[in-house]
Structure 1
Amino acid sequence: MELFAIVVMKVDELYVRSLSAQIERELQLLHNVESGWTIGYEWTETHAYIRLEANLTELEAPIIRNQVMPCLAGCLADHIIADKESSILRSLLIKEFKYEAQEDLEAIEGYCKQSLYTESGMEDVPVLSNSFGLQRRKQILVEQLMSAFEETSRLSLDGFLHFRLQDYADELREVAEYAIDEYMMDRQYQEFISLLQYFVYIQEAKIPVVHLIHKGGHEFVILNDRLELIDANEFDATFKLEVLEKDINFEDMIVSTLITVSPANIYIHTRDPDMTVIKTIRQIFEDRTTVCSYCRTCDIYLGEPKKQDQLSP
């Protein structure tokens, strides 16, 4: 007796064998299924059929179906997420958001992956939203697959992917919109950084040395080579005003002051060299910067370093 059949467009035999084996592994984990069942597949000129068959009595049929159908839906949901999600997402980016350049697509897909697979063990990825969660997407697919199996025991996988994924596609669309926003902000930020790098490059140094003292958090002090406070008002402030008009998410005042005074060398004294604004300053001023976390000036303004600071390179 045929319980279910998965119909796919004629594709590589290895693909069909792999999907069949995946379904078989999941079914072997079922409990309280005594009747023998088998999985096989066959080909026509246009399609492949993955068949699930079992020797059932009339009384056994509902019990087996109630166990097998959720298992099969879960297995196919995993398959769609693992093997089809990337192509579905790329199709959304091309057809709905009109991105075609390979560079743009790859960059946006990178942001998408940070959202989509946070729950899969990726490191250094912020938790963004439960609505983007892997389990939520799987549950949406399982519900849609269960609904499809209620209507027919022969599921066209290609037809399902084309016509039955509205809720799932909405989830991916939300992820894509978030990723595009992040991509655009990052691109604008990098363009602005490049502008600042160019301005620093063409500008002559006005003073030999600046000591940037990072006291912690968002507290900074800017000193000259005599360790005296620098008054940026003594310098040309034209570019400073232009910088402050930009809507950039880092410490505008510090960056614009450093550009205004245009030092030949910047010594950054900090216990937190990975802070975003410090990375930004190093990116803008490049080889003009030196980061220090353990020197006489650090001792004077930052106090004694913690043990881990002394040991860090």
Structure 2
Amino acid sequence: MLELLFKSKRDASNLQKRANDSGFISSFHETLFQNQQHYIISINKPYTNDERQQLIKSICDFLLSEKCMEWASSILTDYYYYEDSDEIGQIMEIILGMRLGERPELTELLEEWGEREFVEENVEMLLESREPVSFDSWSKFRLKKLQDRQMEYVELAIDEYKMEQEYQMFLHMLREYLSTREQKKISIHLYSTPFGFRFFDEGFQELDRDQLLAYMDKRLLTNHPLYVDSYTIAPLLSLAPEKIFVYSDDHEQNLIRTLQNIFEERVNLLPLRYFPESFLYTSLDAANE
């Protein structure tokens, strides 16, 4: 019989449920330990290797999916002193995305480590215990490396959250700028190339670099050099067109997403083949003359 002593009733109940869902017989009862209320779950130890691996998996899943998130939340409130529930929720969303493998751009910044293998190895030793085990003490000492790992997740998530907040402020500022900017062109057609976008006006006359520079509000590059590139975003903000037609076969590229975020309903995405091909060559011929 594996007996685990918990300070948290929720932890005890959640682990018991996982054990029951995996087909193990268990019992749950309350007890006083060192004058404090504790909760004990008793789980029949597995007889076969398959059963043993199933129980190890159940305990590992509980630790990696529930306890890791709980530890991360505690780090946010107890170590970084976050109090706002909305902020905590957004940072925890980032951490959850990292743990689910949905934020590879962040997790690849972490040193590779066999997290599950580490937990499985320690849970296997836990199953060998013949005496009741304090889950909180065991996890504090045996899983210290796993808990420390959550600090790394939290640090990355906080940095990402701050960057996202900064990015949202930047978008809001540019939208405000755009709303007050006088319209210089009715529409702009952007044709995607491996070297960036070619600009065409509403009559499909190409605007070369010198023409774009003549329209450009130089304050955009001075005030926002980190986010506003001088080749696409700054010219578009300066021209303030009513419609922007983007011709590309890769609508998921970061720059196009940024254009959508800034110009919103003004942006229309189209495949490359929709661009009138004759105007591409007309512009090239004019440039060569």
TM-score bracket for this pair, using the shorter chain length? 0.7 to 0.9
* Aligned match of 1:239: 219
Give 5+ residue unaligned stretches, structure 1. Answer: 26-37, 55-63, 119-123, 304-313
Aligned to 1:44: 31
Unaligned runs of 5+ in 2: 282-289
Question: 1:69 and 1:160, CA in 2 relative to 1: closer, same or farther beyond 3 A?
Answer: farther
Alignment of 1:104-183 (within 5 A): 104-118=87-101, 125-126=103-104, 128-129=107-108, 136-145=114-123, 153-183=131-161
TM-score (norm 2): 0.75
Matches within 5 A, 1:147-296: 153-215=131-193, 217-226=194-203, 227-230=205-208, 231-242=211-222, 245-248=224-227, 251-293=229-271
Supply the distance in 1 between the matched residues of 2:179 and 2:167 (Cα, whole angstroms). 18
Paired residues of 2:28 and 2:41 also in contact (CA < 8 A): yes
2:72 counterpart of 1:89:
yes
Shift of 1:85: 2.3
Alpha-carbon distance in structure 2 between the residues aligned to 1:20 and 1:106: 29
Q: Provide the aligned C-alpha RMSD in A.
A: 3.7
- Match of 1:173, as an amino acid? M
Deviates more, 1:281-290 or 1:104-113: 281-290
Distance 1:49-1:67 versus aligned 2 partners, 3 A rule: farther
Q: CA deviation at 1:39?
A: 5.0
Counterpart of 1:60?
Answer: none
Please say which of residues 266-275 and 287-296 is displaced more in the overlay.
Answer: 287-296
Normalised to the residue count of structure 1, the TM-score between the two structures is 0.70
CA contact (8 A) 2:181 2:238 kept: no
Q: Is the 8 A contact 1:5 1:52 kept in 2?
A: yes
Question: Secondary structure at the residue paired with 2:104?
Answer: coil
Q: 1:278 to 1:156 in 2, by over 3 A?
A: same
Residue 275 of structure 2, aligned match among 297, 303, 312? 297
Percent identity reads 19
How many positions carry a matched residue from both structures? Answer: 271
C-alpha contact 1:270 1:298 (8 A) present in aligned 2: no
Contact (CA 8 Å) 1:205, 1:264: kept in 2 or not? yes
1:11 alignment counterpart = 9
Separation (CA, whole Å) in 2 of partners of 1:101 and 1:95: 13
